[in-house]
């Protein structure tokens, strides 16, 4: 297993719609293992394949994040088949480090997909797991959580993000 580089906004791969996985071969198995290691190391509670430069329909999640990976979920070709209620919570993203915002999402979801062995699974979730599932599935559609905040908040984010990137570039130039 190896750590994968996480794509940072505005990397174009984050806006790509992910392709369905037609067969679970050795390369997908390796990608799953590498994504799990990368998610835990980051540390995050979820990671979509496009966040590591691979626009395929694969997510890994662990909202429990305990000593063991007892809460680990691997989902291939996940789809939300039902969603109810509304909830608002603070979200962040490994691809937009250091930025958090209140996002409104569905309170409960049912997601269907395949596990890492290709067996069909269905997850009925609420709370943090429901939010994480929606966040990661959004990634597979080329959407980021900043797309779900108000236009004013998004404009403020973009200005701050641009300034932050410019400051990083200036400090890198000073190191030369």
Question: 107 in helix, strand or coil?
Answer: coil
Give the closest residue to 146 by CA, choosing from 138, 46, 106.
Answer: 138
Alpha-carbon dihedral angle through residues 64, 105, 163, 98, given to the nearest 10 degrees: -10
Question: 72 in helix, strand or coil?
Answer: coil
Please, are residues 115 and 24 in contact by the beta-carbon 8 Å criterion? no
Q: Which two tokens stand for residue 94?
A: 């490994």
Q: Which of 22, 136, 170, 172 is catalytic?
A: 136
Please, are residues 16 and 10 in contact by the beta-carbon 8 Å criterion? no
Q: Is the peptide bond before 12 cis (omega within 30 degrees of 0)?
A: no
Is 136 part of the annotated catalytic residue set? yes
Helix H segments across 46-150? 127-140
Active site residues: 136
């Amino acid at each position: 297993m190896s750590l994968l580089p996480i794509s940072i906004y505005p990397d174009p791969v984050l806006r790509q719609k992910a392709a369905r996985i037609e067969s679970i071969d050795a390369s997908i198995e390796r990608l799953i293992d590498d994504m799990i290691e990368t998610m835990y190391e980051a540390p995050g509670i979820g990671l979509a394949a496009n966040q590591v430069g691979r626009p395929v329909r694969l997510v890994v999640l662990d909202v429990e994040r305990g000593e063991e990976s007892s809460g680990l979920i691997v989902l291939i070709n996940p789809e939300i088949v039902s969603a109810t209620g509304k909830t608002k919570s603070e979200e962040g993203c490994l691809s937009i480090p250091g930025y958090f915002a209140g996002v409104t999402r569905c309170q409960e979801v049912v997601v269907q997909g395949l596990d890492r062995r290709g067996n069909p699974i269905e997850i009925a979730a609420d709370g943090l797991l429901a939010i994480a599932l929606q966040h990661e599935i959004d990634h597979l559609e080329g959407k980021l959580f900043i797309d779900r905040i108000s236009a004013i908040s998004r404009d403020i984010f973009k200005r701050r993000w641009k300034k932050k990137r410019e400051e990083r570039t200036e400090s890198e130039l000073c190191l030369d």
